[in-house]
Chain A
Amino acid sequence: MHLDPFELHRPTSVEATVRLAHELHGRFDYLAGGTDLLPNYKMHLNLRPHLIALHDVAELSGHSPTRIGAMERLAAIDEDAAYRTAYPVVGDAVGEIATPLVRASGTVGGNLLVETRCFFFNQSYFWRESLGFCLKADGDKCHVVPQKEVCYATFSGDLAPALMVLGAEVEIAGPTGRRRLPLGDLYDAKGDGIRRLAIAPGELLVAVHLPADAGSWRGRYRKLRVRPSFDFPELGVAVAARFDGARVQGLRIAIGGVEPRPRQFDELTRPLEGGALSDDRVRELAARLERSVRPVHNTFLAPDYRRRMVGVYVRRALADVREVRAG
């Protein structure tokens, strides 16, 4: 399968990249690892005439305990045993992304910004044309929930929930300079499977920053999928907690793989802070989370099953972090 021709750009600095992005407004995609973009391009999904490859922008690479460059390869994190020990929730998540071969090219920024997915979107041009195109590419209707306004494509990255519960921020560069925002705010709360990001199209994700206290949180990420490799998450649950003796001092839960964006549920976890994380409270929290998500039938597993697994996965992930504390 060939790619349609495009013009390939290889800027060498963040500033040059952003400038180029401004000039090419709406007519380009950033190319990072390519493991998500190139399959989509081969399927003729939302092609643009320009690709801006980020491989030569030195500032985007590398990682330290508190910063990961957007172009850092997933394998580099996966192979860093010290990093994974320091942030087990990130280690869990990165180690379960796709396959070793995808992680060898795929990047941290690419996984955070991975295109939302849907059985009716991730198909060839022939397939989509034969059904009638969808809202997210070339068409004007949704085949999952028939209507003309909202796209239900699912956020399918693994890293976002894991980094969110550690309080990560993202560094964004744009034509007017740089800014930082909480990772959760990168995803548009008012958006959908198409309008999914809260940043402007020309802006560039430069790095992810972890706060100084990130290492004091104990976290786990649990991923639901049919096979233990290759598959995108049908559900991803990240939890992080801090304990003061028997009392849970801080508790965060973020969920991906079920809706167009990853979501953190502080409004449900905050009331538990300061108390003991008893089995009853965990059960009640899990049940509330189960009711709070709305998966639709656009992935392999049935939505009612995925929703039911929210409760199971939350309970198990919390049991894991309680055990770590006990240990």
Chain B
Amino acid sequence: MSSPDRLRFRLNGQPVAVPCEGARILLDLLREDLSLTGTKRGCDLGTCGCCTVLVDGRPTLSCLTLAALMEGRSVDTIEGISPPQGLSPVQRAFVEHGATQCGFCTPGFVVTATALLRDHPHPSREEIVRAISGNLCRCTGYTKIIEAIESAARETV
């Protein structure tokens, strides 16, 4: 780290400088130190996807990422990808299709789906299934999540 005390990176579009020790996990930094609680802690071991954030635009498990390695990089959380007013197309589709039940996995799915549609605006059903296969949902059987992503893709024609 360039500075031993302060970690500097872009968080949701804004530069931040925060105290951070080497062993600090990104998820802990976001939730505990920066109060960005939209990113959820489901298993802490990379096996549920609830903690997904974008690192340099890529969906990433924040529970298995050292915060120190974010030096100079860009992190976007669910708070950052939500518009200041209203909902994004992906978020709107999740609401309209009932793709949230308990909602605990939802921020992770929204982050994953947002990146998918940014890179592949018209994914096939198989591509959607593959893209979300690192995010676990116990409520929906994934059916309505897949429908919501398909619908959001149609909307962005």
Contacts and interface: CB of A to CB of B under 8 A. Distances in A.
Contacts of B133: 99-100, 228-230
Interface residues of B, number: 28
Contacts of A34: 64-66
Interface stretch (B43-51, B84-92, B97-105, B147-155): B43-51
A101 B134 contact: yes
A102 interface: yes
* Residue among B21, B46, B61, B133 facing the most chain A CB atoms (10 A cut-off): B46
A42 B45 contact: yes
B134 A6 contact: no
Contacts of B1: 8, 10
Nearest to A3: B23
A35 B46 contact: yes
B31 to A, nearest CB: 12
A46 B123 CA distance: 42
Interface stretch (B8-16, B52-60, B74-82): B52-60
Contacts of B145: none
Contacts of A6: 22-23
Nearest to B133: A229
Contacts of B112: 100-101
Nearest to A122: B45
A175 to B, nearest CB: 25
A75 B61 contact: no
Interface in A43-65: 51, 53, 55
A12 interface: no
Contacts of B22: 5-8, 51
A3 B130 CA distance: 31
Looking at B44, B64, B68, B69, the one whose CB has the most chain A CB atoms below 10 A away is B64
Contact-size category for A: 20 to 34
Q: Which of A1, A3, A101 has the most CB of B within 10 A?
A: A101
Contacts of B66: 8, 31, 34, 38, 53
A53 B64 contact: no
B8 to A, nearest CB: 14
B52 A101 contact: yes
Contacts of B23: 2-6, 8
Nearest to B2: A10
B118 to A, nearest CB: 14
B131 interface: yes
B135 interface: yes
A98 interface: yes
Given A2-B28, A3-B25, A101 B60 contact: yes
A228 to B, nearest CB: 7
Contacts of A228: 133
B134 A98 contact: yes
Given A7-B22, A10-B1, A34-B65, A104 B46 contact: no
Max count, chain A CB within 10 A of own CB: residue among B45, B59, B131: B45
A51 B69 CA distance: 12
11 contacts: A2-B28, A5-B23, A8-B22, A8-B66, A38-B66, A55-B69, A100-B130, A101-B60, A102-B134, A104-B58, A230-B134
Interface of A: 1-8, 10, 31, 34-35, 38-39, 42, 51, 53, 55, 75, 98-102, 104-105, 228-230
